Structure 1
């Protein structure tokens, strides 16, 4: 079975209140992450028609702060489907209600896994790719997965050779006091 990503896209908008702010008066990043996880869950569950859990979150960069009183809109779409998992792209934008000015606050990718009532992984519908944007998002997800695998393989503790990396540390804010290499 295959589905279009448009069948499970979700958009939510919420007013940011003082209770959502941190000590500097901006909206707390943890609150935004919670909203992102909720919309990723809703999107994945809608696509798979099963309960879903978050397996991983790929890179969350807070690009612009969100102020109390702004409207925050989160958009979620299925970008990639595996056998039992899905990559959900989440975009966060804020809008100043008085000026109408919008800011891109962050984008992230949530890997969600579909579960049955017994908690076992279940297959998910594949994606129908209709547009250049669909193909770009799908292949970008594949590239992110390959990059993550290469990153974890390159720094395996049993294979890591300190001497191969010492030169790269010279440009960084670090002092070496190694005795055991």
Structure 2
């Protein structure tokens, strides 16, 4: 959107979070119109929306739903499964380095739920990640999933191609008019 010259943006040329939030709540982008101040209820407009109305409704549900915590800053490649693997009690496992008597550091995953019988029990990183890797090797996507993904990418590609074609046409027309 920032690269599109017709898009309304700030003086700095950047698209801010507040502007994106306003856009996500605006039904105009879904081909609908509403203006409560004038008593205009939500209705189908005469213009074509950029997104479908169903997508707009999903966005509204997501915006009004439960807030998610920001991404953890302590995630790193030492423990790629931290917070993603659950203990038997349902809480996410955390990870830490443990120092042995010799001073050598050893990587472990553990549960910190006070009510869990496995609280503080260490699971060696190589064991947990090895089992996870074996589990991933057993998973294969279904043909329907691959077909759906292929259709989604093709639709996106066609949309981008059409947008580029329209922008090119508009720019050529502006050059001819000047």
Per the normalisation by structure 2, the TM-score is 0.19
Q: Going by fraction, where is helix more abundant, 1 or 2?
A: 2
Larger radius of gyration: 2
Structure with higher RCO (Cα < 8 A, 6+ apart): 1
Per the normalisation by structure 1, the TM-score is 0.19
